[in-house]
Chain A
């Protein structure tokens, strides 16, 4: 019997097989750090007198806490400032490369890694952030870890891990115009639930996945964690190689040839068997939005707010009742009628150049709805520079949107970019949890296209609601 891609990656990083029920010891190729989940790990090393084993496989950036305005001034919030300064001091003391606020390579850690060419097929990638699953888009085994594990990787460059189960998610068919990778992953999570992926590495497969750009593949793998999965994977192909080639850390010459030769072996064997398989027809999809307070509570935009009474399972029914109350909705209300206060375009899910281009294409020549605010936060400083080189900043500014510096921003509201209580957002980020974007804030997860159309109309909308918008899409 053949092996799956996930199993191949596991085998190629096996330092030591666990005995008597002990976990396997897995080697980590790349460890990314940020200010929030690393301070206690570095402190642990200091207390134990341990060095960072491989500073040359470690990189740090500042993203979760950083302001997106006035980045040349001292950070106003004292606790944020202390946390950032702590990361800078730790990086210096332990010899770790860091890209700080104001540096051209600063940005959301999951945007920075791929952009520097540090994320490649066939690697193991970890970070103290659950959205590390993003890097699985390259055919790398990539997953989020807690702070104890951050310390473990810093000290040993390995992790003791129990083998994962494997799940194939087959997405075939033609994705309709105006429908995107974000809609695919929201539909998958709605289908399998927020716990559906627990214990699994998901491998996204099928025609519809193969046709996607790297940016779109990253959007899908990014949200694997929202289905509870440990990681998401897409087998590398020419699209992947093309993306990596020529980036600052991409292999060159003979190393490139050797790498590509190996990367081409990174596919699931024809006769391999997954523990579970799921099918999704991309042709049936339409723009998807969430109505509730977990990413599994999503529906097509054309649907109405569900009635909890129609939900048979008691746990799900109570969850729906709580969510509807928190979100200030009424069962039966059309999702398209919902008035949106703030549109957030950004995050490690949808803060890459392609996402900004897509949104700009929709709003170009149109006017922003009165009373709706639009915040555009590029995923990294380089994405911001690229967008400016293409004139996208002008499109956003002319439209009436705010054009910010890079960071996690309103995705999780650790910096000043937060929703006010009861404020309703259409957000291209990944989590609609209660209070995620600010205490009492109400989040609807959407694609960049839906975000842009919503900013034009002021209510949850898709490009279909704007004359000529779908036809104009590339």
Chain B
């Protein structure tokens, strides 16, 4: 993961609440087995509308998304974060994020910055009045700056540290492998194991056929 300290880029005002993961990337695009190549899938249903914000020249190359509350609700698909990353977004700003989306962002170097709804409204106005205006997001200072306006944002201290250092979670956890092994030794014997596999007797499943 790349280290994140500060980022400056075009701000994109997305005046919608509850932008769910099916809007960010519809399920039909989840069939790929790679982590990249999802840029065309981002907001796929809305991209067909010429009026959609990302179809407007001034915002097309945006990298800081400013959205309404409850961004990223719904499914656990990390593809939502990959699609935002692939499109070129580095930061998403909203007053509330769905928990899983926020967690996924942190793992993939996408900054999910929590800004009060009042300040989101101010940012929206600035970005709409002057399309193509840039926003600077400083993870070090936890601030979002747009022209004369500077507002604070919230982020979990640990996530901030990991983003700034560009650290990989698995590597960090495996430093404590002895603790994991010690814990495993204490697990009760009733706790189920998937192997060896046990099932009810195997029965043949008849394939349903189309009607008509």
Task: State yes or no: do A and B come from one complex.
Answer: yes
Is B166 in contact with chain A by the CB < 8 A criterion? no
Is A365 in contact with chain B by the CB < 8 A criterion? no
Is B157 in contact with chain A by the CB < 8 A criterion? yes
Inter-chain contact B169/A148, CB cutoff 8 Å: yes
Among the listed A50, A145, A160, which residue makes an inter-chain contact with B76, where contact means beta carbons less than 8 Å apart? A145
Is A384 in contact with chain B by the CB < 8 A criterion? yes
Q: Which residues of B contact A220 (CB under 8 A)?
A: none
The interface bits of chain B over 183-212 (1 if a CB of A lies within 8 angstroms of the residue's CB, else 0) are 110011111111101111011110111110
Among the listed A40, A194, A412, which residue makes an inter-chain contact with B35, where contact means beta carbons less than 8 Å apart? A40
Q: Which residues of B contact A147 (CB under 8 A)?
A: 35, 78-79, 104
CA distance A71 to B98 in the complex (A): 36
Q: How far is the CB of B205 from chain A (nearest CB, A)?
A: 5
Q: How far is the CB of B147 from chain A (nearest CB, A)?
A: 24
Total chain A interface residues with beta-carbon distance under 8 A: 106
Inter-chain contact A68/B107, CB cutoff 8 Å: no
CB under 8 Å from chain B, chain A span 412-452: 412-414, 431, 433-436, 439
Is A285 in contact with chain B by the CB < 8 A criterion? no
Closest residue of B by beta carbon distance from A323: B18
CB under 8 Å from chain B, chain A span 14-58: 15-16, 18, 21-23, 25, 27, 29-30, 36-37, 39-40, 43, 48, 50, 53, 55-58
CA distance A30 to B193 in the complex (A): 8
CB under 8 Å from chain A, chain B span 1-53: 15-18, 20, 22-23, 26-28, 30-35, 45
Inter-chain contact B100/A294, CB cutoff 8 Å: no
CB under 8 Å from chain A, chain B span 144-160: 156-158
Q: Which residues of A contact B138 (CB under 8 A)?
A: none
CA distance A120 to B187 in the complex (A): 14
Inter-chain contact B104/A146, CB cutoff 8 Å: yes
Q: How far is the CB of B81 from chain A (nearest CB, A)?
A: 7
CA distance A155 to B173 in the complex (A): 10
Inter-chain contact A56/B31, CB cutoff 8 Å: no
Q: How many A-B residue pairs have CB under 8 A?
A: 257
Is A59 in contact with chain B by the CB < 8 A criterion? yes
Is A4 in contact with chain B by the CB < 8 A criterion? no
Inter-chain contact B99/A120, CB cutoff 8 Å: no
Is A465 in contact with chain B by the CB < 8 A criterion? no
Interface size class of B (residues with CB under 8 A): 35 or more
Inter-chain contact A405/B207, CB cutoff 8 Å: yes
Is B57 in contact with chain A by the CB < 8 A criterion? no
Is A355 in contact with chain B by the CB < 8 A criterion? no
Is B180 in contact with chain A by the CB < 8 A criterion? yes
CB under 8 Å from chain A, chain B span 100-133: 100, 103-104, 107-108, 117
Is A176 in contact with chain B by the CB < 8 A criterion? no
Closest residue of B by beta carbon distance from A143: B100
Which of A78-86, A330-338, A339-347 sits within the interface?
Answer: A78-86
Inter-chain contact A97/B197, CB cutoff 8 Å: yes
Among the listed B76, B156, B192, B211, which residue makes an inter-chain contact with A402, where contact means beta carbons less than 8 Å apart? B211
CB under 8 Å from chain B, chain A span 236-278: 248-251, 255-256, 258-259, 262
CA distance A130 to B78 in the complex (A): 11
Closest residue of A by beta carbon distance from B33: A39
Inter-chain contact A258/B188, CB cutoff 8 Å: yes
Closest residue of B by beta carbon distance from A129: B76
CA distance A318 to B31 in the complex (A): 33
Q: Which residues of A contact B200 (CB under 8 A)?
A: 104-105, 248, 382
Is B69 in contact with chain A by the CB < 8 A criterion? yes
Q: How far is the CB of B35 from chain A (nearest CB, A)?
A: 5
Is B142 in contact with chain A by the CB < 8 A criterion? no
CA distance A431 to B75 in the complex (A): 9
CA distance A431 to B77 in the complex (A): 14
CB under 8 Å from chain B, chain A span 292-315: 293-294, 315
Inter-chain contact B22/A199, CB cutoff 8 Å: no
Q: Which residues of A contact B183 (CB under 8 A)?
A: 15, 27
Is A392 in contact with chain B by the CB < 8 A criterion? no
Q: Which residues of B contact A102 (CB under 8 A)?
A: 205, 207
Is B73 in contact with chain A by the CB < 8 A criterion? yes
Q: Which residues of A contact B104 (CB under 8 A)?
A: 146-149
Inter-chain contact B17/A319, CB cutoff 8 Å: yes
Q: How far is the CB of A162 from chain B (nearest CB, A)?
A: 7
Q: How far is the CB of A91 from chain B (nearest CB, A)?
A: 11
Q: Which residues of A line the B interface, CB within 8 A?
A: 15-16, 18, 21-23, 25, 27, 29-30, 36-37, 39-40, 43, 48, 50, 53, 55-59, 64-65, 68-73, 77, 79-80, 82-83, 86, 97, 102-106, 116-118, 120, 123, 128-130, 132, 144-149, 151-152, 155-158, 160, 162, 194-195, 198-199, 225, 228, 230, 248-251, 255-256, 258-259, 262, 293-294, 315-316, 318-319, 322, 381-382, 384-385, 402-405, 412-414, 431, 433-436, 439
What are 20 A-B contacts with C-beta separation under 8 Å? A37-B78, A97-B197, A104-B204, A106-B205, A120-B192, A145-B100, A146-B104, A146-B107, A147-B79, A156-B170, A157-B184, A194-B18, A195-B69, A230-B99, A248-B199, A315-B68, A322-B16, A413-B28, A433-B22, A439-B26
Additional pairs, 5, CB under 8 Å, beyond known A104-B203, A118-B194, A230-B100: A39-B33, A56-B195, A146-B107, A155-B174, A249-B194
